[in-house]
A and B are shown apart, each in its own frame.
Chain A
Amino acid sequence: MTQTDTQTTPANVDNGVNVEALLGAREALDAAPEAAQFKWRTSCEWVNGTHSRSTVSGFFGLGEEQARSKDFTIESDHPEVFAAEDHAATPVEIVLSGLASCLTAGVAAVAQHRGIQLHSVKATLEGDMDLQGILGIDDDVRNGFGNIRVNFTVDADASEDEIKALVAQSQKRSAVFDIVTNPTNVFVTVN
């Protein structure tokens, strides 16, 4: 399939995504599903109040531990209306950002694969939350988002339907979209 697929990508389309490598990886991992088993990690330390700092470093994949060139940190806090110091974005905003980044990366990859040159991609996200949930005021209200709305503005050498199809396909293959739209078992232990 690589043959036909690479043929569909004209050489002059460059969204900075190495589709050949991705397709190669897909073929390799299809043949060796053990190597496709990844584990992603983060560790978080409390700083003060609602302020915390997560560090992202190595992960497991392709059958072994993978090191990063450097560690990444993600800070989180709450705004002043929550009587906090607003050092950084709230965790739920980080979740929205994760969803946005995942979908946006997906749009670029799918566009490259389909031979569509992108000029700009902008995603704006908004999530509804009824605070009666987290504050324990009303048990019928969930803690998390009620609805999440994602709006894409895409400038690309493609028709309106082709752009819609890019965005739809990106959702179909997105990890964070799946994490947000489907339940996941979460196991929490205490040392």
Chain B
Amino acid sequence: MKTTTTVIIGAGQAGLAFSKRLADRSIDHVLIERGEVANSWRTERWDSLRLLTPNWESRLPGYAYDGDDPDGYMDMAEVVQFMQGYADTTGAPVQTNTTVKSVHPADVGYVVATDHGEWHCPTVVLATGACNIATVPKVAADLPSAIKSITPMQYRNPQQLQDGGVMVVGASATGVQLAREIQRSGRQVTLSVGEHVRLPRLYRGRDIKWWMDVTGLMNMSYTEVDDIKRARGLPSLQLVGTPERSTLDLNALREDGVRIVGRLAGLHDGKAQFSGALGNLCALADLKMNRLLDSIDNWATANGIDGEVEPARRFAATQLDPEPTLGLDLTTAGIKTVLWATGYRPDYSWLNVPVLDRKGRIRHDGGVVDAPGMYVMGLPFLRRRKSSFIDGVGDDARDLVNHLCSRLHRQAA
């Protein structure tokens, strides 16, 4: 059995940033990665995906985007190159093509068992990602067998789908992006919409992510937010990164011909039932967006930049059919495929330490897991609103490495 001070599991941005912070403190460690660096970006994304965060926001400790298009959005090849470049620059000690099969407590610290041997370590970092498994709701089991079911993990491009209608369930980042792409491929899309976060791509001439960054919203700490449980469960932003920098909200999708229906509430005898609460969910999203725009306007005035940016404005309320469809016979409606864009969750099946709550979520306080010497990275609002973004792992890794160091220090003393 090999030993090291810290085993980091996963070489995505979270693991790599943690590794850099450990190296800066000269702490001996290893990164175990089942594939190559940035494996999730290489193997689990659809073909057309671009980041929804602008290039300038790809910032990691000691490394950042330095190309000539700071306002652009990287495609997957560019993201992989960016991450690989980071691993190379920092000289991260990554052991690739090695899968962690189990982590269990030892007398002191943990044993990390891989398909290439075991490691013993006093500290371990779970940087395996928040999006390992596509979540599919229970109603999926009642789908007629003739209709194909697919998740965003399996989806690559519209050509992969049969001709005919597609029901996309879920209207957060993944759902709205795929709904548009599939609709534009000539397949009629029905988009089932639950709770969602509506945002314009540009506001007052600047990227909405720029505003969210400068106003301090993305930096907000998990200790400052009113209801952290709710904040951690919020759906992703309705945003897409395109060269045109266009907004992708329900109104834009409707213009493309996408049919908007309520949350999928049931499936019985091939008939889908949609919630009648659609209007309210859209009203909530519009109100929430306007509150954000209000706070941006206030910030702009307080910081004296009203003259530098375009004037304040408000966007049209979400338009719905006067009587949105409540039920749809999927077969009669010509729906051949259902795409479940209903979120992602982490996979901890290899974790043999009792740190999961009854809903399978890891128990942690800002990334300090409820087990001595164990840390987790990259989860939504782990320590800050930006924690699950590329831009967020640097600060989180700094805080958690500080915690880890003082722990090692205490133990040595």
8 A Cβ contacts from B198-235 to A: 226-229
How many Å lie between the Cα of A123 and that of B225 in the bound state? Answer: 33
B287 at the interface (CB under 8 A from A): yes
> Which segment, of B11-19, B30-38, B270-278, faces chain A?
B270-278
Specify which of B226, B266, B277, B283 is in contact with A4 (CB 8 Å cutoff): B226
8 A Cβ contacts from A33-65 to B: 33
How many Å lie between the Cα of A183 and that of B139 in the bound state? Answer: 12
What chain A residues lie within 8 Å of B290 (beta carbons)? 161
Task: State how many angstroms separate the Cβ of B362 from the closest Cβ of chain A.
Answer: 17
Task: State how many angstroms separate the Cβ of B46 from the closest Cβ of chain A.
Answer: 31
A9 at the interface (CB under 8 A from B): no
Given contacts A147-B323, A168-B284, contact A1 B277 (CB under 8 A): no
The range of chain B's interface size is 20 to 34
B280 touches A171 (CB 8 A): yes
Task: State how many angstroms separate the Cβ of A26 from the closest Cβ of chain B.
Answer: 10
Task: State how many angstroms separate the Cβ of A9 from the closest Cβ of chain B.
Answer: 12
Specify which of A1, A169, A178, A180 is in contact with B284 (CB 8 Å cutoff): A169
B265 at the interface (CB under 8 A from A): yes
A171 touches B265 (CB 8 A): no
Given contacts A33-B358, A168-B283, A171-B280, contact A183 B228 (CB under 8 A): no
A183 touches B266 (CB 8 A): yes
How many Å lie between the Cα of A147 and that of B265 in the bound state? Answer: 18
Interface string of B220-259 (1 = CB under 8 A from A): 0000001111000000000000000000000000000000
Task: State how many angstroms separate the Cβ of B228 from the closest Cβ of chain A.
Answer: 7
What chain A residues lie within 8 Å of B226 (beta carbons)? 1, 4-5, 8
Specify which of B227, B277, B283, B358 is in contact with A178 (CB 8 Å cutoff): B277
8 A Cβ contacts from A1-37 to B: 1, 4-5, 8, 33
Given contacts A168-B280, A168-B287, contact A181 B275 (CB under 8 A): yes
Task: State how many angstroms separate the Cβ of B298 from the closest Cβ of chain A.
Answer: 14
What chain B residues lie within 8 Å of A4 (beta carbons)? 226
A182 touches B284 (CB 8 A): no
Given contacts A4-B226, A5-B226, A161-B290, contact A181 B276 (CB under 8 A): yes
B291 at the interface (CB under 8 A from A): yes
A183 touches B273 (CB 8 A): yes
Among A169, A171, A180, the one with the most B-chain Cβ atoms within 10 Å of its Cβ is: A171
A182 touches B277 (CB 8 A): yes
B265 touches A164 (CB 8 A): no
What chain B residues lie within 8 Å of A165 (beta carbons)? 284, 287, 291
Interface string of A176-188 (1 = CB under 8 A from B): 0110111100000
Interface string of B4-42 (1 = CB under 8 A from A): 000000000000000000000000000000000000000
Task: State how many angstroms separate the Cβ of B169 from the closest Cβ of chain A.
Answer: 15
How many Å lie between the Cα of A4 and that of B277 in the bound state? Answer: 30
Task: State how many angstroms separate the Cβ of B357 from the closest Cβ of chain A.
Answer: 10
What chain A residues lie within 8 Å of B287 (beta carbons)? 161, 164-165, 168
What chain A residues lie within 8 Å of B276 (beta carbons)? 180-182
How many Å lie between the Cα of A151 and that of B323 in the bound state? Answer: 17
A172 at the interface (CB under 8 A from B): yes
Task: State how many angstroms separate the Cβ of B226 from the closest Cβ of chain A.
Answer: 5
Interface string of B340-374 (1 = CB under 8 A from A): 00000000000000000010000000000000000
Task: State how many angstroms separate the Cβ of B44 from the closest Cβ of chain A.
Answer: 32
B277 touches A181 (CB 8 A): yes
Task: State how many angstroms separate the Cβ of A112 from the closest Cβ of chain B.
Answer: 15
Interface string of A148-191 (1 = CB under 8 A from B): 00000000000001001100110110000110111100000000
Given contacts A168-B287, A172-B284, contact A182 B265 (CB under 8 A): yes
- With CB as the reference atom, state the residue of chain B lying closest to A177: B277
- With CB as the reference atom, state the residue of chain B lying closest to A1: B227
8 A Cβ contacts from B262-308 to A: 262, 265-266, 268, 273, 275-277, 280-281, 283-284, 287, 290-291
Given contacts A171-B277, A178-B277, A183-B273, contact A164 B283 (CB under 8 A): yes
What chain A residues lie within 8 Å of B283 (beta carbons)? 164, 168
How many Å lie between the Cα of A182 and that of B272 in the bound state? Answer: 12
What chain B residues lie within 8 Å of A171 (beta carbons)? 277, 280
Task: State how many angstroms separate the Cβ of A189 from the closest Cβ of chain B.
Answer: 20
How many Å lie between the Cα of A181 and that of B284 in the bound state? Answer: 16
- With CB as the reference atom, state the residue of chain B lying closest to A171: B280
How many Å lie between the Cα of A171 and that of B276 in the bound state? Answer: 11
How many Å lie between the Cα of A1 and that of B231 in the bound state? Answer: 12
How many Å lie between the Cα of A147 and that of B324 in the bound state? Answer: 10
How many Å lie between the Cα of A105 and that of B119 in the bound state? Answer: 57
What chain A residues lie within 8 Å of B265 (beta carbons)? 181-183
Among A146, A172, A183, the one with the most B-chain Cβ atoms within 10 Å of its Cβ is: A183
The 6 nearest A-B residue pairs measured at CB:
A181-B276, A182-B265, A171-B280, A181-B277, A183-B266, A168-B284
A interface list, Cβ under 8 A from B? 1, 4-5, 8, 33, 146-147, 161, 164-165, 168-169, 171-172, 177-178, 180-183
Q: List 13 A-B contacts (CB under 8 A).
A: A1-B227, A1-B228, A147-B323, A161-B287, A164-B283, A168-B287, A172-B277, A172-B280, A178-B277, A181-B277, A182-B265, A182-B273, A182-B277
Given contact pairs A177-B277, A181-B275, a sample of 19 additional A-B residue pairs in the complex whose CB atoms are under 8 Å apart: A1-B228, A1-B229, A4-B226, A5-B226, A165-B287, A168-B280, A168-B284, A171-B280, A172-B277, A181-B265, A181-B277, A182-B265, A182-B266, A182-B273, A182-B276, A182-B277, A183-B265, A183-B268, A183-B273
